[in-house]
Amino acid sequence: MPQLTFQRARTEDKKRQRAAALVEAARSLATESGVASVTLTDVSRHAGVHYSAVRRYFTSLEEVLLHLAAEGWTRFSDNVCASLREPGPKSPARVAEALAQGLAADPLFCDLLANLHVHLEQEVELERVLGFKQVSTAAVLALTEAIENALPGLGRAGAFDVLLAAYSLAAPLWQMANPPKKLAEAYAERTDVPPDWNIDFTAAMTRLLTATCVGLLSQNAGS
């Protein structure tokens, strides 16, 4: 491997480029090997930024990952809202499918959700977390409105509950559906593992969110 040459960024434009390089390095590494395996040393090396200089751009690895999570919320919102604006009849299954496919299309976001409240928000400076909350809240509001427009019978509260269910289910289901390679291989050789635990993420999310929509619509209709 060729020896990396590190040069200090001396202009604001160069600093922005270095910060963007660190974000892209974290994105690449987390997508390739999972969020839990990413280290700041690997990110700095991948980005061509000396480890000792990283804190000029981000206070920690967790801050870089939180930045990626904010981007993920925006992508998820944009994709689902666009899907629900497409012509055609709206139904619980249609809304559930849009949410499930929006999540399935973004593996990194699903992986980040598993770490968000346990690690990222706990270990990043408050000001940065509040900035993240501003971005994620805007995404949540747009998604809630899109779900309510698709299924008016849910009402605002019901639409939020559907989104909350999608958000809450995404992280554990993604991890269950995408176990580490060695674990998946070991499970494949066992006969005592119920076949129902071989989860298809999109199908499971669609099924569970459809049931959530139907249940909430029924509840609202009967109240």
Tell me the CATH architecture of domain 61-221: Orthogonal Bundle (1.10)
Whole-number pLDDT of residue 11: 64
* Residue intervals in the chain for CATH 1.10.10.60: 1-58
Architecture of domain 1-58: Orthogonal Bundle (1.10)
Q: What is the pLDDT of residue 5?
A: 42
User: Based on the number of CB atoms within 10 Å of its own CB, is 89 exposed (0-12), middle (13-18) or buried (19 or more)?
Assistant: exposed
Q: Where in the chain is the domain with CATH 1.10.357.10?
A: 61-221
pLDDT by residue for the chain (223 residues), tens only, comes to: 333 344 454 567 888 888 999 999 999 999 999 998 999 999 999 998 888 888 889 988 999 999 999 999 999 999 999 999 999 999 999 999 999 999 999 999 999 998 888 777 787 889 999 999 999 999 999 999 999 999 999 999 999 999 999 999 999 999 888 877 787 777 777 777 677 667 899 999 999 999 999 999 999 987 7
Q: What is the pTM assigned to this prediction? A: 0.86
pLDDT for the residue numbered 4: 37
If you write DSSP's letter for every residue of 155-208 in order, what string do you get?
A: HHHHHHHHHHHHHHHHHHHHHHHS--HHHHHHHHT-SSS-GGGS--HHHHHHHH
106 sits in the region (left: phi over 0; alpha: psi -120 to 50; else beta) called beta
Report the C-alpha gap between 173 and 169 in whole angstroms.
Answer: 6
Contact assessment for residue 205 and residue 169, using Cβ atoms and an 8 Å cutoff: yes
User: Encoding tokens for residue 69?
Assistant: 């999570």
Residue 101's pLDDT is what? 97
How big is the chain, counted in residues?
223
